[in-house]
Amino acid sequence: MTATAFAARNRDAFQIDAMIDAVIDRARAAQRAFGRVTQERADEAVRALAWAVYKPEHARELAELAVADTCLGNVPDKIVKNQRKTFGTLRDLLRAKSVGIIEEDKAKGIVKYAKPVGIVAALTPSTNPGATPVNKAMMALKGRNAIIIAPSPLGYETTRRTVELMRAELGRIGLPADLVQVLPAPVTKESTDALMRASDLVVVTGSQDNVRRAYRSGTPAIGVGLGNVPVIIDESADLADAAKKIRASKVFDNATSCSTENAVIILDKVYDAAIAALREVGGYLCNEREKQTVEEVLWQGHKLNRNLIARDAAVLARAFGFPAAAEGAGFFLVEEKGIGRDYPLSGEKLSLVLTVYRAKDFAAAKETVRSILDYEGKGHSCGIHTKSIAHARELAEELEVVRVLVNFAHTFGNGGGFDSGLGFTLSMGCGSWQKNSISENLSYKHFLNITHLVTVIPEDKPSEEELFGPHWKKYGR
């Protein structure tokens, strides 16, 4: 490296550090007072953030801006996402306590007090440049923290506008706007890394490279994993209901969600009938030649074609050179037998392409799911359409996933739903299976420090016989 290049790099690093220091200083000043507010005031802040995006004209504006910014998804579904996720998250947060005493166990003499973590750095993806920032901001302020959002450069303008709306709403209720900030453009790996190092907690939704960098930052980090959801249709399933739900989930926002179905595994006894049901709701069944075309066009050098992910079905049909009839399809069914790197259709597609596998029985279907997840998406989730709760429990007992959804449109249950007990979120932890620090949906609880007040209780000390007796009896002393 020349002396000139070395000096330029040092100058850039100095400028980045100065910019991060300024952003962090503003966040700390805002959070210092906010960290002492009551539960009522914290909830007012959460409501304000929610309204900033839920407000119909804002939800539409952000949806239109997101599609214009990123060319990912579609406006009607992004409006739904902006409102549905924000409304559901608000419901969950307003039902929870995050200030003062949040739990008391008199038998154990334990009282738990919630405290802020401080400054949160939130990395957000291009697939949800409006919904994810407000979701994380609501959770962060529920814990009386401040948050600085580092968006994907592709969705920067949408996120910047989202933050602008949230800041305005905070100001309207008399709270510091600097409780929510966006990392100044241009967002680079260097500026994002500096932000992560300077913050008190990092929360990452997006690329696995960002997740790994967050864990290396030296700051406590929560990252989430890669999706690649496989769903079984067994012989007991209501096929019409399963097809309707799979379609609704698959086509939502042009399959931008990590929770969308990427493969369906159909038992042999109902295979033809299930395919017919999927075609009835708009699935276009590709022949062998068309399957080859999908593989050649949707992937470029083992990487998804950025020009085709999360695009409308008509755009895909034209890119694939399919017949005119295919342009009216809702999604594309492609039959496959193989799994792994040599079979790209077995992985996550972020597009309106649904891979179909045939299984001779439930045991074979379960192993297909296991193999798909071993290749990509382990830890995230899978699903089943069935009337047999035993089949669902078998999946939950044996597969290395955090979530098994039964008879759901997967996208609308996995990240929280009004008919799902999972909490609303846009960030799904995948456990150690994907080297994540959480194995549950991200929630406000992850934005809290907990102080434990411990008082004396009656002694709870069993005898040696109680603890060692079974061992002595079976193996001797």
The residues annotated with a catalytic role in the active site are: 258
Q: Starting at the earlier edge strand, list the strands of the sheet with 283-285.
A: 283-285, 331-335, 353-359, 261-267, 229-233, 379-385, 401-406
Q: What angle do CA 74, 76, 78 make, to 5 degrees?
A: 65
State phi, psi for 113 to the nearest 5 degrees: -115, 130
Contacts of 426 (CB under 8 A, 6+ apart): 85, 128, 131, 132, 135, 136, 205, 415, 442
State phi, psi for 107 to the nearest 5 degrees: -65, -35
- Number of residues assigned to the chain: 477
Helix (H) or strand (E) holding 363: helix 362-375
* DSSP-assigned states of every residue in 272-315: HHHHHHHHHTTEEE--HHHHHHHHHHHEETTEE-TTTTT--HHH
Query: How deeply is 99 buried, as exposed, middle or buried, from its count of CB atoms within 10 A (0-12, 13-18, 19+)?
Result: buried
